[in-house]
Amino acid sequence: MSFTFLFYKHIMFRKSCGNCHFCNTKRPSDITIADFWGWEKTDPNFNADNKGCSLVLVNTEKGRKLFEAVKDRMNTIPANLDDCLQPNMMHPSEIHPKREQFEKDYVKKGFGYVYFKYGEEGWRYKVKRKSGRIKNIIRKILLGK
C-alpha cells in the first residue's frame, strides 16, 4: 500500500522523469500503449467490468498498418486525443521536493525506514508507537511500578 502511495507522491521517481522529452504526443515509436485515462468520456460503458483498459496511439503509417492487422482481435473504440491525454503525455512529472533526501535515506537506511518516514503508514505507525508508550506509562503509574 505505501509503495503505491510513495509512487503517486512522486517522491521515488527517477530524476529524469522531471525533464523527460517523451512527455508529448510527438512520439518516436510506431505505436504507444498506455493506460486509457478518460475512457468514460468516450464511452461510459466500455470498461463496465472496471478492470481498466489500454490506450493505443498510432503514431506512424507503419503503426497504423500494424494496428489494422490486429484490431479485429480486440475490443476497440475510437477516441478523441484530447479525451485520453494523461498528464505525462502533456508534460514531465513534478519531482517531489524531498526526493533527494528520500534517495539518501533509502541508500543509508533501506526501504523499511523510508516506508515509514515518507509513506502513508508513517503517521499511523508513529501514533501507534507513541500510544503504546503512553499506555505503558499509564499502566506503570496505575500498578505503582
- Rounded distance between C-alpha atoms, residue 48 and residue 63, angstroms: 28
C-alpha angle 22-91-21 in degrees, rounded to nearest 5: 25
Give residue 12's identity as a one-letter amino acid code. M
Its pTM stands at 0.64
CA 98 to each of CA 6, 70, 103, 139: distance values in angstroms, whole numbers, following the listed order: 12, 45, 9, 39
C-alpha angle 25-31-34 in degrees, rounded to nearest 5: 70
Per-residue pLDDT reduced to its tens digit, 84-143: 888 888 899 888 999 999 999 999 999 888 888 887 655 555 555 566 666 677 777 777
C-alpha cell at 3: 509503495
High-pLDDT (> 70) share of the chain, %: 86
pLDDT average, residue stretch 18-47: 88
What pLDDT is recorded for position 89? 85
- Rounded distance between C-alpha atoms, residue 43 and residue 46, angstroms: 5
SS3 for the chain is CHHHHHHHCCCCCCHHHHHCCCCCCCCCCCEEEEECCCHHHHCCCCCCCCCCCEEEEECCHHHHHHHHHHHHHCCCCCCCHHHCCCHHHCCCCCCCCCHHHHHHHHHHHCHHHHHHHHCCHHHHHHHHHHHHHHHHHHHHHHHCC
